[in-house]
Amino acid sequence: MKANSNNHPGTFTESREKLHYNYNIVESEKTDEHGTRTVFDYDYVEVKSKDKADIIKAVMRNKYSLEDEIALINNKLGGKAEHLIEYDAYTAVRDSVKTLEIKPITLKETK
């Protein structure tokens, strides 16, 4: 899911007794009628724990359902060119998720 904040969200946040992993954090400047301010756009997923395997699983599930993954694998085995392209895109996502840097834990309470 996408989110926006006036404050850096940190790697992990707790909200309503749920743990979220925040990633793809991008800092930018926003100008409105009140002036210019720094904002942070980021993606987040709910995770079961701070374990890297749980985080990877949650990020992948945010992008692909289990059924989507099974279909991609089965279609790839069929060998049609368009399915190979779809599978390559899926593999690129998997590879990028596996390289996510899990930074030191920072817990913040958000409302």
Q: Please determine, for residue 45, whether its predicted confidence score (pLDDT) is greater than 70.
A: yes
* Domain residue ranges of the chain, discontinuous segments joined by +: 2-98
Helix (H, G, I), strand (E, B) or coil at 66: helix
Helix (H, G, I), strand (E, B) or coil at 59: helix
Q: Please determine, for residue 25, whether its predicted confidence score (pLDDT) is greater than 50.
A: yes
Looking at the DSSP bridge assignments, the partners of residue 30 are 37
Q: What is the pLDDT of residue 98?
A: 86
Q: What is the pLDDT of residue 99?
A: 86
With 0.85 as the threshold, say if the pTM is over it: no
**Average pLDDT of span 66-91:** 92
